[in-house]
Amino acid sequence: MKWPTMHSIILSGDGPRNRLLSWLIVALVLFMLVAPFLGMGQAMLNTLIRIAIFVVLVASFDLLLGYTGLISFAHTMFFGIGAYAIGLTLERGGPYFSSLLIGVLFGLALTLILAWVIAIFSIRVRALFFAMITLAVAHVFYVVVTQQYVLTGGHDGKNFHIPKMLRPSNVIWRIENLDVSVTGSTLVYLGIILLCILCFLAMLKIVNSYFGCALMAIRENEFRAEAIGVDVLRCRVIVSCISACFACLAGCLYAVWVKYVSPDATMSIQIMLDILLMTVIGGMGTLYGAIVGSTLYVFAENYLKEVISALSLTAGDIPVLSAIANPDRWIFWLGLLFVLCIYYFPEGIVGRMRREIEHE
């Protein structure tokens, strides 16, 4: 009898397939888990949390784009639904764990209904029209949220409180030797990181199941998949609902961490474009591309300006160099870096690394 290995249990038999990539992912996960105990500042913890949440969000989007060949611009709508469900239930029901649970369940239920309705009425059309329909639905939902000022706070959004046990002022344990305190905020941080890991592993399990094989068959050739017995419409509806639910969970985790929700922070088209860019940079149809793309994008977005500022100091008064290394032009360099990345890695960084291994 052959016992299952840890690789098959945890990673569903689908590892990164590249030794360097494997070690980098392990190092990133370990760093995320120990960061609160290393005296990292709040800025670094915020960056790591954004990476973890975006990994779930981008991976759920990759279920549609990379594995099924569908592009949905309504993904941030489901992310926003999760965030607003948490915010409104905690604000109206009070900062209790029961309100937190109700918010998650309500967000998932609303997400599931909307995703099913959108899929049923739009997924029969061609991929381009499906993308346009989801974009229209997401825009309508965004406008509705911004106009319902009494309920959602409009463009200003809403602040809310989380349960007292999870607040930074609640000191649970103090490590005297390391001068580190385990607070409610530490519990929230570790809880979000662990939940993001579980969500990623669950999606990895899905794409390596028979259902995932059916999705990839649909992506490669819809008519051939239907000819061999795959129910194309049913599979697309199911994966749309699954993808939306994971996006909703990412929104719930985001709201718990920032304790604030607004349309621009959760539902804007800019976030949708960021998700699409992370997916393409990391590599579509890999899931591990979500980790690479999210990490590179978030770190570049947060620290590229500081790097350029350091370069501008070394440039001195040299006219050309000082103009190029101006910190105010960091967004130009960010765009240039990603254009070069897409140009030299058309199949994504993970896709390129896997292809090199296969050719060895």
What are 110's two structure tokens? 């609303």
Residue 167 falls inside a structural domain: yes
Q: Bin 209: left if φ > 0, else alpha if -120 < ψ < 50, else beta.
A: beta
Residue 289 falls inside a structural domain: yes
State how many domains the chain has: 1
Residue 7 falls inside a structural domain: no
pLDDT recorded at residue 316:
56
Residue 8 falls inside a structural domain: no
pLDDT recorded at residue 48:
94
Those residues with Cβ within 8 angstroms of residue 292's Cβ, 6 or more apart along the chain or in another chain = 21, 281, 282, 283, 348, 349, 350
- Nearest alpha carbon to residue 287 among 67, 119, 7: 67
pTM of the model: 0.90
Torsion sign (Cα): 264, 268, 271, 275: positive
CATH code, domain with 36: 1.10.3470
pLDDT recorded at residue 150:
84
Mean pLDDT by 10 residues, the chain (360 residues): 53 73 91 86 90 95 88 91 94 90 94 91 73 88 89 87 84 69 86 94 90 86 84 88 95 94 89 89 88 90 75 62 65 78 80 66
pLDDT recorded at residue 341:
79
Residue 199 falls inside a structural domain: yes
Residue 207 falls inside a structural domain: yes
Residue 168 falls inside a structural domain: yes
The whole domain housing 337 covers 18-359
pLDDT recorded at residue 133:
86
Residue 270 falls inside a structural domain: yes
